[in-house]
Amino acid sequence: MSQDKQVLAGELQRHGISRRSFLKFCTSMASAMALTPAAAVEMAQKLSTIRRQSVIWLSFQECTGCTESLTRAHKPSLESLIFDFVSLDYHHTLQAASGEAAELAREQAMHENGGQYILIVDGSIPLKDGGVYSTIAGISNLDMLKDVAKDAAAIVSVGTCASFGGLPKADPNPTGAVAVADIIDDKPIINIPGCPPMPVVMSGVLAHVLTFGIPELDALGRPKAFFGDSIHDRCYRRPYYDRGEFAKSFDDEGARKGWCLYELGCKGPITHNACATIKWNNGTSFPIQSGHGCIGCSEPDFWDMGGFYKPLSTGTSNPGQWAGYALAAGAAAGLASAAVNKAAKAKADKVHQPVTIEDMGKK
Amino acid sequence: MAQLNGMQLKIEVTEPATGMAKAVARELAEHLAALAEHGRSHQVDLTSLPMSSGDKQELASLLGVGEVDITLHAMGESHIYETAFSGIWWVKHYSADEQLISELIEIASIPEIIKSPAADIELAAQALNQLIEQTDSSFDTGDDT
Amino acid sequence: MNEIELLNWARGPGLTYATIFMVFGLTLRVIEILSLGRPKELAEVRDSGVRDGWRMVIMRSLPERRNWKRITAAYLFHVGLLIVVFFFIPHTQFFRDVFGVFWNGWPNYIIDFVTVVSIAAMLYTLAQRLFDPARRILTTIPDYLAWLVTFLPFVTGYMAFHRLGVDYTLMLALHILSVELLMIALPISKLTHAVTFAMSRWYLGSNNGRRGIHV
């Protein structure tokens, strides 16, 4: 009994979460991550025997949408179970304590679990003007991130802001916002982008980190299990794209027939996420299914792709306007050059002397 | 109804079968043979297979229904039944808001999730003894008066 | 710089720079050429040359019987290029965005077929330059470069459409960048013929006509 206190399973059971719920959770996580069902059993065994993992969650320039996505299901969702597997020692939106007591909790967790805690970050970090644009308890985001990251075992960047800079970084980036990975380079960092990220992706990755360690990542630090395919590759409307059947407006025949949304600005072809397969709200739907193109929210700089409704094959700026200026400048340069050439020609004409037969006979 | 037609709603029907059911059935047969011979159990995750709803219906009718039907109450219900083929179990996990979260076929003498975990049994034995002791003492006091 | 940043650069600043360079360069060159006028005729002019000018424009656009293989390849490539550039559906979106004019694109399978044919035709013309001794002598490095910058958009576009090789995002970025390279090459290479071919043919034909050579 006493040793049971140490491990997760016993503790959870006292909270009414049975081992079977546990296994069920792991089965759905493993399925979402395309792990074998056998891995689910292994995951459940590991989860039940580990100690509660200390987690410090730092929220910087963010909108709390990421936390909402994970916690605000109508009924206690399976995804939010992940919160029962960890000891969330600091999360200033969710924790009861505030002010100095909250910061004290953070320092205590850092002290007690040095080198072992997982740091979760949502939101970007402003660097401009000494980072004054976002502070917590008088500490700039930059300083707090560096301080907490120092003794973290791993860092999970939740949401596009923490992963790539997101909305705060959108042109012209007034606060000089950057991603976590732009500051920290000596710790393993997992990026879980999305605006917000899918709940099952967050909990799935966390469950993987707790049991099997850091999952396989792509070049942008995203877990391949969820971000390996593009929305376009997995889209149920893909056959319409291949056949060249496109909706031209949100209210035309094609839109009603559920044709491809490429011409309405869908960013599916360049966006990597699991929306098309796992879908949102427990598998109910995802943007394309409800008739709106993908906005590319799990990719860097998705706010600066020229607009959500501009097709991918168009420019993000307005080259037509520049073409007008270039035409005028080209014409001016052409006329100037013509004048120079004409002068040269006139000069040549002036010195031209006709050659006669007599001239040719001269020695 | 006339109004509905006017709205030009797209009505989803069962997707046609693609022949996946046969392929899955063949895989199940192999694993069932392995279970019979070596006692090796296995699980097939239907959620991650590219099966249409038609394929799933085809597979379900192919496998039939056996004698055991179990409902599990753990963070939402789970419906588990043994197919007409002993050792092949169809497992559907639902969340608390009744959404299907995962679906698998288990080839085992009993599905993993049904087995009572050893640690739980140990705890239960202690708890039951405790309960008996408590009730005993209450009976004792009852006798004394 | 990651793939998305590269793509955003190609679709944004890259496209703007390339457009400015191309439009400026082509306008400058066309005006310059036109302003040069004719050289002073030292012999008696025998004909206005207008008819011969138009004849040349048409004649040079018609296939000639010699070397039908090369002519066919050249035709397939040029017609293919026009079809792919102007009738691939995503391209029509681009032109609508820039010019505000919209026309219907053609089905993908046609564009796909035309692309393959065009690529094959270009490879054939390259092989001719490489293996025919006479052409080999005549071909200079700029000729090969002109071929390359025309060939790259085809190949990158084909690979992007079929998700071949690298990730689609990177391939799309490379495709757009290759087109921008072509746009930059247009005013500074022999590829200027894309806009000057008709007027240079007319000039040649009318010059001949004025001197009494009627083809």
Inform me whether the pLDDT recorded for C13 exceeds 80: yes
Dump pLDDT digits (tens) for A41-75: 888 888 777 778 899 999 999 999 998 888 765 45
Tokens representing A317? 């700026």
Chains A and C share 3 or more Cβ pairs within 8 Å: yes
Residue B14 — very low, low, confident or very high, per pLDDT cuts 50/70/90?
Answer: low
Report the number of distinct structural domains present in chain B.
Answer: 2
- Of C6, C19, C60, C64, the residue nearest C184 (C-alpha): C19
Per-residue pLDDT, averaged over A206-232, amounts to 91
Instruction: Give the residue from B118, B48, B42, B112 showing the smallest Cα distance to A23.
Output: B112
Q: Which of B44, B96, B102 sits opposite A75 (nearest CB)?
A: B96
On the question of pLDDT at C144 being above 80, the answer is yes
Indicate if B110 and B121 belong to the same structural domain.
Answer: no
Output A279 or C188, whichever has higher pLDDT.
C188
State which CATH number among 3.40.50.700, 1.10.1740.10, 3.90.1150.10, 3.30.70.580 fits the domain covering A51-225: 3.40.50.700
Buried b / exposed e over A335-349, threshold 16 CB at 10 Å, is eebbeeeeeeeeeee
Average pLDDT, chain B: 83
Range scoring the smallest mean pLDDT among C4-13, C38-47, C101-110, C155-164 = C38-47
Subunits with 3+ C-beta pairs closer than 8 A to A: B, C
Task: Note whether B64 and B129 are same-domain residues.
Answer: no
Shortest CA distance from A279: residue in chain B:
B101
pLDDT band at residue C171 under the 50/70/90 scheme: very high
Looking at the fold, whether B26 and B6 belong to one and the same domain comes out as yes
Side chain identity at residue A260, one-letter code? C
Q: What is the mean pLDDT of residues B29-37?
A: 94
CA–CA separation, C129 vs C125, rounded Å?
A: 6
B60 and B130 share a domain?
no
Residues B76 and B87 in one domain: yes
Shared domain for B73 and B10, answered yes or no, is yes
What percent of chain A lies above the pLDDT cut of 90? 47
Confidence band, pLDDT 50/70/90 cuts, at residue B2: very low
- Tell me, yes or no, if C44 comes closer than 8 A to chain A by beta carbon: no
The DSSP bridge partners found for residue A246 are A260
CA separation (Å) from A237 to A177, A259, A293, B3, B144?
36, 6, 11, 27, 79
Tokens matching residue B91: 């497992």
Cβ atoms of A271 and A301 within 8 Å: the answer is no
Are residues B89 and B129 located together in one domain of the fold? no
Query: A231-304 is classed in which CATH architecture?
Result: Irregular (4.10)
Contact C27 A349 (CB under 8 A): no
Domain, as residue range, for B140: 116-145
A121, β-bridge pairs:
A58, A157
Same domain, B95 and B120: no
Q: What is the pLDDT of residue A140?
A: 95
- ipTM surpasses cut 0.90: no
Same domain, B24 and B59: yes
- pLDDT reported for residue A296: 96
Quote the pLDDT of residue A302.
Answer: 94
Residue B6 has what pLDDT? 53
pLDDT tens string A254-306: 999 999 999 999 999 999 999 988 888 767 789 999 999 999 999 999 999 98
Judgement on whether residues B25 and B87 belong to the same structural domain of the protein = yes
Confidence of residue B145 (pLDDT cuts 50, 70, 90): very low
Pick from A142-151, A349-358, C174-183, C192-201: least confident: A349-358
Indicate if the pLDDT at residue A165 is higher than 90.
yes
C contacts of A316 (beta carbons < 8 Å) = 8, 11-12, 15
Cα–Cα separations (whole angstroms), residue B5 to A161, A252, A291, A360: 44, 16, 19, 96
Tell me if A282 and B45 make a contact (CB, 8 A cut-off). no
Q: Which of B45, B96, B126 comes nearest A76 by C-beta? A: B96
Max Cα distance, chain C (Å): 66
CATH of the domain at B50: 3.30.1370.140
Touching subunits of C (3+ CB pairs, under 8 Å) are A
Task: Flag whether pLDDT at B109 surpasses 90.
Answer: yes
Task: Note the pLDDT of residue A1.
Answer: 34
Determine the Cα–Cα distance for residues A169 and C193; give it in Å rounded to an integer.
Answer: 44
Whether the CB-CB separation of A330 and C24 falls below 8 Å is answered with: yes
The pLDDT of residue B33 is above 50: yes
Among A156-160, A199-203, A324-328, the minimum mean pLDDT is found in: A199-203
CB contact under 8 A, B75 and A24: yes
Coil, helix or strand at residue A88: strand
Considering the domain architecture, whether residues B109 and B99 belong to the same structural domain is answered as yes
What does residue B120 show for φ and ψ, rounded to 5 degrees? Answer: -65, -40
Contact residues on chain B for A33, CB-CB shorter than 8 A: none
The distance in angstroms from the start CA to the end CA of chain C is 58
Residue among B86, B134, B135, B91 at smallest CA distance from B114: B91
Which class for B104: exposed (0-12), middle (13-18), buried (19 or more C-beta within 10 A)? buried
Q: Tell me the β-bridge partners of C183.
A: none
pLDDT computed for residue A41 by the predictor: 83
pLDDT attached to residue A19: 81
At A78 the pLDDT is 64
**Chain segment A99-133, per-residue pLDDT in tens:** 888 889 899 999 999 899 999 999 999 999 999 99
For residues C46, C50, C51 and C54, what is the CA-based torsion angle, rounded to 10 degrees?
140
pLDDT at A4: 38
pLDDT confidence of residue B45? 86
B104 and B121 inside one domain:
no
Give the span between the Cα atoms of C200 and A273, in whole angstroms: 53
Is residue A8 within 8 A of residue A58, CB to CB? The reply is no
